[in-house]
Amino acid sequence: MRLSRYFLPVLKENPAEAQIVSHRLMLRAGMIKQAQAGIYSWLPLGFKVLRKIENIVHEEQQRAGHIPLLMPTMQSADLWRESGRYDDYGEEMLRITDRHGRDMLFGPTNEELITDIFRSHVSSYRDLPLTLYQIQWKFRDEIRPRFGVMRGREFLMKDGYNFDMDYEAAMRAYDRHMVSYLRTYERMGLKAIPMRADSGPIGGEDTHEFLVLAETGESEVFYDSAITDLKLGDREVDFADAAQLRAICEEWTTPYARTDETHDEAKFNEIPEERRRSSRGIEVGQIFYFGTKYSEPLGASVQDAEGKKVDVHMGSHGIGVSRLLGAIIEASHDENGIIWPEGVTPFHVGLVNLKQGDEAADAACEQIYAALNIVGLEPLYDDRKERAGGKFATMDLIGLPWRITVGPRGLKNGVVELTSRRSGESEELPPEDAVKKLAEIYAPHLVKSL
């Protein structure tokens, strides 16, 4: 992409309405625009990151054997009356009446709708286990929408639902989700810690929230610092191997890690003092097991091998896709702007031409631009007639992890400059070596389209 042709409405001034750094930087970098309280338009740069995050979520869900589908945002109130939640859900649910006087709602979550799909089409134990998921907009009429996309009213969520024959099978689904979530967040360059949590209005027995540590987080968390050293890295995970999944979950759930709702002071004090931590965290996902809470009232049962009807055991599992943009920025920025992890960056590299209009510099930039595209990378080429300082400031603000700087002086020696946004370190090297190096850096991060 050439910056002169792109739509990147960066702001020079700090927007007054933004209280936290991620919100401020998303507005300044031209990623989002508020449409109403808690409702945002996703401008091209923000939309690109949103799509990258979605792609990672899709890949990791499908790697775990979960099947994507798409349900509507608008739901019928009748279905929610069947589960008893239409009255229970409270003011966060946006209720609407259509022209025929029928009650509808903008879905805050989808347990009822998915259970209705299941009961209409599945009747035998042979069809289980089954996990279906979607990435779809949700609406919750939050009393205090704030912090930009972190607590919106309209927000994008991955929500997945498992259907299993019994408790043991449902717990295998639970483990599968936990491990797939760990992989998902790691690919986004995030450390998200699973913490034992409280089940809230969705209701359930076993539940973990995934929290990214950040001062601006809304949750208070308590944990053993040992948990922050854990990493999946590039270990091979076989999602069909229940024992391996259990072992990984054991590894992550053994060190103490809880939110304030389930915090147990006595247990916490058993941790060696130097490893006791309390801080704040951003909830970026949650997994639940809730048994037959919805299958029973909605009649979602299957016949077992003996022909006996059993209510299926279910769980639901959410990832805050749009909130993740804010969480990643909270975890990765400096005073000059965002620092995107390679896995989610909107463009892989910024190409800065120090002297637009100089024949040699223009030609070299064109060549590098083409070479980057050939190796499958997406450059953002700042081809505007601007001062170098202004170009650098824009690149730093929007946070591309790598920058190639091209100028007449370097070209005389056959080199360009490759700079890391994170470390600030630069090296001079021939243009083809810079391209090669970036291709290597990004090889593990290139998202295949599904």
Cβ closer to ligand ATP: 109 or 301? 109
- Interface residues toward ligand ATP, by CB under 6 A: 109, 140, 142, 151-152, 155, 157, 200, 283-286, 318, 320, 322-323
C-beta closer to ligand ATP: residue 314 or 371: 314
Q: 10 Å Cβ neighbour count for 166?
A: 14
Picked from Mg ion, ligand ATP, none, the partner binding residue 284 (CB below 5 to 8 A depending on kind) is ligand ATP
**Cβ 219 to ligand ATP, closest distance in Å?**
7
Long-range contacts of 305-311 (CB under 8 A, 24+ apart): 305/125, 310/125, 310/165, 310/166
Residue 263 or 437: the one with the smaller Cβ distance to Mg ion is 263
Write down the least CB distance from residue 95 to ligand ATP, Å: 17
What's the rounded Cα separation, in Å, for the pair 392 and 397? 8
**Separation of alpha carbons 332 and 105, rounded Å:** 37
Angle at which helices 44-63 and 321-331 cross, to 10°: 110
Joined together, the tokens standing for residue 300 give 């979602």
Nearer to Mg ion, 314 or 339 (CB): 314
In the complex, the smallest distance separating the C-beta of residue 203 from Mg ion, rounded to whole angstroms, is 12
From the CB of 9, what's the least distance to ligand ATP, in Å? Answer: 23
* Cα-to-chain-centroid distance, residue 400: 18
157 binds, among ligand ATP, Mg ion, none (CB under 5 to 8 A by kind): ligand ATP
Residue 212 contact partner, candidates Mg ion, ligand ATP, none, CB within 5 to 8 A by sort of partner:
none
74-94 burial, b for 16+ CB within 10 Å, e for fewer? ebbbebbebbebbeebeeebb
How many CB atoms neighbour CB 168 within 10 A?
10
Binding residues among 272-301 for Mg ion as defined by CB under 5 A: 286
Cβ closer to ligand ATP: 155 or 256? 155
Please tell me whether residue 83 binds Mg ion under the rule CB under 5 A: no
Size of the site for Mg ion (CB under 5 A): 1
Is 394 near Mg ion (CB under 5 A)?
A: no
CA separation for the pair 275, 256 (Å, rounded) = 10
Full DSSP string of 220-254: EEEEEGGGGG---TT----TT-HHHHHHHHHHHHS
Cβ proximity to ligand ATP: between 162 and 322 the closer is 322
Pairing type for strands 257-259 and 309-311 reads unpaired
Identify whether the C-beta of residue 222 lies closer than 8 Å to the C-beta of residue 256. yes
Q: Which does 140 bind (CB under 5 to 8 A by kind): ligand ATP, Mg ion, none?
A: ligand ATP
Q: CB-wise, 317 or 421, nearer to ligand ATP?
A: 317
- Position closest to ligand ATP via CB: 320
Chain residues binding Mg ion by CB under 5 A are 286
